[in-house]
A and B are shown apart, each in its own frame.
Chain A
Amino acid sequence: MVAAALLAATISLAVTAVLRPAAAAVLRPAARAAPVARAAPATSSARLEDQSSWQRCAVPAHLAKGHIVVPIVVDFGGRDAKVLVTCIVTRSGDTGAQVLEAQAPLLGYSVPRYDASGSGLLCAIDGYPASGCGTESGNHYAYWAYWHGGGKRWQYASDGPGEWTVSKGDVEGWRFEPDGSASPADPPPRAPSSAAELEMPATTMGTATATTRPPGTTGMSSSSSRSNSGGGGKGNNTLGANAAGPVRQSADSRSGTRKGLVILCVALIVLIGAGAYGRSRRKTGHVS
């Protein structure tokens, strides 16, 4: 009976593991919802009433071949929360996730946090919220909603950032919904959705050139040129960079001991495994 139960448990676990991507797809509030209805009432201009200030981002004067500029809007939700607009230089065909990740170092942010189970659900941008992932309360979720801009209004994404690929004229939008319904009815980011209104042509900020890093990843923005030139920037914060010092040091020493422990564990595992292998070899060798 125990055997039957164990077999059943094994099979059920196998089935869940195989079906997990599909289950995640169903449960994922941010990235998967029905396509937007034509007559979505929430146009971006109507929503701009609870105005959080946003600033245009500067576009570099020269782009390397195959590169495009993708404005990304990150709206931290809340009434007085900040709305950040960053122009990312990236390759056409890069994923939305790569664009979002490229934004982090430009602003001195920590990299986006995704669901630990590997379902691809975005949990936090710049460590916000600090814990949880699409936390459900009642029928509502506290989650990062993903929007596609570029046209007249924001479109609620029907795919994940890892699946969406950007092309010229696209705008990426993220808005934290503290009490969202995980549907296209959630409010879109509080910034225009078209690239033309978000971008600031390169004139005064002429020094913002596209630094080509490892191909296909990141680029430049007005925000970064401001923080690089030693402050004076009036808008976006650089909190992440200030807080990094002492935290990183203690994390370093901790990761050092962890590395030692991991090596010790691996050695133990290899030792026991080799012992078991050797024993079973010897045994079968004698019998046959």
Chain B
Amino acid sequence: MLRRRLQPLHPIAWWCWAGTLAVAASRTTNLLLLGLILVVVAWVVSTRRGNSPWARSFGALLRLGLFVIAIRVAVQVLFGDRVPGDTWFTFPSVPLPHWAAGVTIGGPVTAQAAIGAFCQGLQIAVILACFGAANSLASSFRLLRCVPAGLYEVAVAVTVAISFTPQVVLSIARVRDARRLRGRATTGLRGWRGLAVPVLDGALERSVALAASMDARGFGRRSRSPKRRRLTAAATLAGLVGLGVGLFEVLDSGSASGIGLAVIILGGALVIGGMAGASHGSRSRYRPDRWRAAEWLVLSSGLLAAGAVVAAGGNDPSSLTQPLYPLGLPAVPLAALAGILIATLPSVVAPAPAPVRAQLQEAAA
């Protein structure tokens, strides 16, 4: 049977889509919005992820998210600010001297404290889930091919940053298999103890090895003159730092975003300038990923979702937060909810993953 070979969606489109949803999540502690973002991401992952080993990243990061929520709530309950409100129960408290005002151990646990901490934990968990979705949906190797050659100066860092999460997921599977074959525990506390070190070690090692091999194959040729090289390196590095700081400014809703935006633009310009200065000659690509209509649709669906949430916040900031005083049901900002639902679009417009199941059946027949 002749099947038209479909090229998978451009990895940058997937990352942008996940990134916009993460931005939307970072703007709200409304349980409904966070829950909807989470299930929308999960739905798209379930329909469009392939059978690659790193497709399991989403599940792994979901579990990490649960861990984050547990830590956040536990810290709040045990050591956090004694937030006033409706007391649920009281932990035995340790009186601390006067100069330690603001630090508490134990004491009354209010509904407001616990629910507020849960919402904040869930927010981080949803952002982690978006990150996991991007790792599940887009191949890190394809993404690496899109990294401009001019980023040579930070090539190792970029390679490790992009490939670390999928490598961790791969490592977990590998080390688990090895331990199972040796008859050791793979679950529970004992299992995790034996797992953690080899997994982190192996993942980082493989990421660095990947970076080295890419280096050896000429990823990012440098320009010949050392002076120019130094200049472009400085520009790229300064630009990347600027991008980081600017992103922090913009995403932290407490600060004025005007400065952050300016810093992002400046940093972006520096990075592009540095890359343009560093790139020397052209690079050929084997079967390049193309940016087509589907990529535009996926990208705009994400932008619409984030835009709807940000706009809802501008309209009525209280609609994006969990009401704590008095404790109540979260607001239902319909426009924001509809916007997030639009982000399910990739489950239709993105090309389906390679049908491995059918191939396996064919091979078996």
Contact = CB atoms under 8 A, between A and B. Distances in A.
B178 interface: no
B252 A273 contact: no
A252 to B, nearest CB: 13
Interface stretch (B43-51, B204-212, B288-296): B43-51
Nearest to B329: A262
A116 B323 contact: yes
A255 to B, nearest CB: 8
Interface string B327-344: 011111010010000001
Size range of the interface on B? 35 or more
Interface in B100-142: 101-102, 104, 107-108, 110, 112-113, 116-117, 120-121, 123-124, 127-128, 130-131, 134, 140
Contact of A163 (B26, B82, B329, B337): B82
Interface string A17-49: 110110011000000100100000000000000
A122 B324 CA distance: 12
B85 interface: yes
A287 B357 contact: yes
B107 A14 contact: no
Given A8-B247, A16-B252, A17-B120, A101 B84 contact: yes
A118 B248 contact: no
A114 B112 contact: yes
A120 B39 contact: no
Interface in A172-210: none
Interface string B26-56: 1000001001101110110111000100000
A81 B350 CA distance: 64
Given A8-B244, A117-B116, A17 B124 contact: yes
Given A160-B82, A272-B40, A116 B324 contact: yes
Contact of B18 (A4, A6, A259): A6
B289 to A, nearest CB: 14
B252 A120 contact: no
Interface centre among A3, A18, A161, A280 (most CB of B within 10 A): A3
A111 B83 contact: no
A273 B87 CA distance: 32
B143 interface: yes
A18 B112 CA distance: 17
Contacts of A98: 84, 87
B42 A3 contact: no
A64 interface: no
B123 A17 contact: yes
A275 B161 CA distance: 32
Given A4-B161, A95-B108, A261-B332, A276 B42 contact: yes
A265 B108 contact: no
Given A3-B162, A97-B85, A160-B84, A118 B243 contact: no
B13 to A, nearest CB: 10
A1 interface: yes
Contacts of B87: 98
A278 B248 CA distance: 37
Contacts of A7: 131, 161
A162 B332 contact: no
B356 interface: yes
B81 A119 contact: yes
Contact of A268 (B36, B151, B244): B36
A283 to B, nearest CB: 7
Interface centre among B75, B101, B121, B157 (most CB of A within 10 A): B101
B188 interface: no
Contacts, number: 193
B16 interface: yes
B251 interface: yes
Interface centre among B39, B134, B344 (most CB of A within 10 A): B39
A283 B50 CA distance: 10
A160 to B, nearest CB: 7
B12 A2 contact: yes
A239 interface: no
B307 interface: no
A17 B72 contact: yes
A24 B102 CA distance: 10
Interface string B144-157: 00010001000001
B39 A273 contact: yes
A113 interface: yes
A10 B131 contact: yes
B329 A258 contact: yes
B325 A111 contact: yes
B112 A118 contact: yes
A218 B32 CA distance: 34
Contacts of B22: 6, 9-10
Contacts of A280: 42, 45-46, 59
B131 A120 contact: no
10 contacts: A6-B18, A6-B131, A9-B127, A10-B127, A118-B116, A118-B324, A160-B82, A162-B85, A261-B334, A273-B42
Given A114-B112, A118-B83, A159-B101, 5 more contacts: A8-B244, A8-B247, A13-B127, A32-B102, A275-B43
